[in-house]
Amino acid sequence: MRSTVEQKRDFYIDPVVTPSVAGNIPTCLREMLVESSMASQKKRTVLISSNSLANRFILNRWGIRPSQRRKFRTLFTTIRKYCRNLFHYLANQSRMEWTSGTERFIFGVYKFEEIRGNLILGFVKLSIEDEWTIPS
């Protein structure tokens, strides 16, 4: 017989993904872009995959590591679908722009590669002078 403590350890409940929770995924993407663009001032292009965005969002939101993907299969699947849909939308728009405080961020977006559903986008940081080169 197994004790109740052992039974509780084997039983995992996936966090619920509501539309308001999924609405925070673009904010996580913006944070990733700002961090990577500030970390490497020389490089203008940043590659981000939809799965890495999903992993980062889940880690920040619930503290669940990518190594726990089998235990929280439904959560990872749902968030990855949201991230892929967001990436397809951004690839079709070909630009991403937002204002944070007094600073304005403009990124050109292009599809780099798609491997087994994992969409990889390239984000090119643009200055305000280069803004006219990307279609709005």
> In the beta sheet, which residues pair with residue 125?
107
Q: How far apart are CA 85 and CA 104, in angstroms?
A: 25
Would you state the pLDDT for residue 38? 81
Q: How far apart are CA 135 and CA 60, in angstroms?
A: 33
pTM: 0.85
Residue 116 pLDDT > 60, yes or no?
A: yes
For residue 76, what pLDDT band results from cuts at 50, 70 and 90?
A: very high
- Residue 127 pLDDT > 70: yes
3-state secondary structure of 15: coil
Contact 105, 97 (CB under 8 A): yes
**Structural domain boundaries of the chain?**
16-133
- pLDDT tens for 11-56 read 667 799 999 999 999 999 999 999 988 887 777 789 999 999 999 9
Q: Is the pLDDT of residue 120 over 90?
A: yes
C-alpha dihedral sign at 136, 92, 17, 120: negative
Cβ neighbours of residue 88 under 8 Å, at least 6 residues apart?
A: 119
Q: State the pLDDT at residue 44.
A: 78
87 CA to centre of own chain: 8
